[in-house]
Structure formats: structure tokens, C-alpha cells
């Protein structure tokens, strides 16, 4: 019972580490002793959706899960940009031009395949042993390393300016915040994420996940 793959549908407003702590506490009470619990890839606090946790001996397989492709549903707000790429940053107006759906679909196609991506400075990537977001909050000037990621598909789910909803399947290591910003740059309007939901990790689906309330008893 201690060695599990635990699928959680993370709500907004809690960090991935917060979810780990709550599940760890639940398993400790259930098993009567401390149980090792770890995540296989974080979600930002404002994001929701599938979070895979591993417990007990299964934690040794975390690297396998980290390599899985992922699927997201994201909402972008065009015409603006955010200092963090999401709703938690400082918002600025960029351009109020309204692109039509054909232009948007044409731009989205530019991102299909292997692309270069610069991860956001407000991320958990380590720079010289320190988390990038901690350096950014301190105002430290630093460069983020370029990485190659793969975008398998991007589908428009809904578009009513300035809101653009998309579904995308991407390789491990892809930052959807950065993808949103890059889409906005190509459109010339700017863009940032207003909502993000992870729906799949590999073959695991959020439809099979348990809500976090189960672990708050």
C-alpha cells in the first residue's frame, strides 16, 4: 500500500510541494509511519490538473515519469504581456489589434515540431545552484539557457478576442507560459497565460485522478 502511483487533480492556489505535503501526511496517518512521497513534475500554483505523485519504492522511478510527454489546455489573453507570463505578474498593454482566426492558426503552425525555447526566469530551474525564480525576485540579472523542446500539436478550442483557448501536446520540459508569450510575439499583440490545466502525462489522464479533498481528511 505504500508503493503507489498517485494521480491528483490539483486545484488552483496551492503549490505542487503543498500537495506533496498533504498526501504525505495522509499516508503517514494511514500507514502509521512516515512514507516517502515525491512529485514527477510540478504545476504552478495558479495552474490546475494532473499531478503524478510517487510513494514508497515507486519514488525511484521518478526519472521515468519526468520524461513523459504532456497535454495541456491553456487560455491566453492577447493584447497584453505579463512580467511572469501568467496572471501573477505585472500586466502591460502591448497592442489592441485584433487578429482573425486564420492568422492565429497560421502562427500556431509555426510552433509545431522541434523549437528553441527560453524558459521563464520565474521558474524552478537552477542557475548556479539557485532557483531562477528566487534570483528573479531579488532582481539579479542572469541569462536562462536555451533548450530544444517538441510541440506535437496545437488546436484552437475557442477564440473570442482577447481570449484564446488552445489544447497542446508537448514534450517534457516545455514551458506553456513561454509558448504563450512566443505566440503573442509572433502575432505582434503580446500574450500571457490566464489559465492552465494539465490533462495528460504520458498515458495517464486527469480523468482518472482524485481530487485533493480526499487527502485532507
Q: List, for residues 142-154, the tens digit of each pLDDT value.
A: 677 789 999 999 9
Which residue of the set 44, 69, 95, 182 is catalytic?
A: 44
Confirm whether 155 is a catalytic residue. Answer: no
Whole-prediction pTM value? 0.90
Determine the structural domain holding residue 134 and report its residue range: 70-201
Q: Are residues 133 and 28 in the same domain?
A: no
Residues 110 and 156 in one domain: yes
Long-range contacts of 177-180 (CB under 8 A, 24+ apart): 177/44, 177/84, 177/85, 177/86, 177/120, 178/85, 178/117, 178/118, 178/119, 178/120, 179/74, 179/111, 179/117, 179/151, 180/74, 180/76, 180/85
Residue 3, C-alpha cell as written in the block: 508503493
Q: What is the pLDDT of residues 111-132, one digit of tens each?
A: 999 999 987 766 666 776 767 6
Residues of the chain with pLDDT under 70: 1, 121-125, 128, 130, 132-133, 136, 140, 142, 214-217
Do 61 and 133 have their domain in common? Answer: no
For residue 217, the model assigns a pLDDT of: 44
Residue 123: the pLDDT is 62
Q: Are residues 75 and 28 in the same domain?
A: no
Cβ neighbour number for residue 75 with a 10 Å cutoff:
16
CATH of the domain at 78: 3.30.2350.10
Amino acid at each position: 500500500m505504500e508503493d503507489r502511483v498517485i494521480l491528483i487533480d490539483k486545484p488552483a492556489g496551492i503549490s505542487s510541494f503543498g500537495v506533496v505535503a498533504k498526501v504525505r501526511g495522509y499516508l503517514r496517518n494511514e500507514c502509521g509511519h512516515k512514507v516517502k512521497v515525491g512529485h514527477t513534475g510540478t504545476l504552478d500554483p495558479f495552474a490546475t490538473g494532473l499531478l503524478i505523485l510517487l510513494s514508497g519504492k515507486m519514488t525511484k522511478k521518478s526519472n521515468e515519469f519526468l520524461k513523459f510527454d504532456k497535454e495541456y489546455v491553456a487560455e491566453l489573453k492577447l493584447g497584453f504581456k505579463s512580467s511572469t507570463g501568467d496572471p501573477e505578474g505585472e500586466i502591460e498593454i502591448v497592442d489592441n489589434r485584433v487578429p482573425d482566426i486564420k492568422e492565429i492558426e497560421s502562427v500556431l503552425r509555426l510552433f509545431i515540431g522541434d523549437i528553441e525555447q527560453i524558459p521563464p526566469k520565474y521558474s524552478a530551474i537552477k542557475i548556479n545552484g539557485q532557483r531562477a525564480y528566487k534570483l528573479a525576485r531579488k532582481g539579479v540579472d542572469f541569462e536562462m539557457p536555451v533548450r530544444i523542446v517538441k510541440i506535437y500539436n496545437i488546436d484552437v478550442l475557442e477564440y473570442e478576442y482577447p481570449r484564446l483557448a488552445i489544447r497542446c501536446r508537448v514534450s517534457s520540459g516545455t514551458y506553456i507560459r513561454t509558448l504563450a508569450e512566443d505566440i503573442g510575439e509572433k502575432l505582434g499583440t503580446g500574450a500571457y497565460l490566464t489559465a492552465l490545466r494539465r490533462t495528460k502525462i504520458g498515458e495517464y489522464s486527469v480523468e482518472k485522478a482524485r481530487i485533493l479533498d480526499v487527502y485532507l481528511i
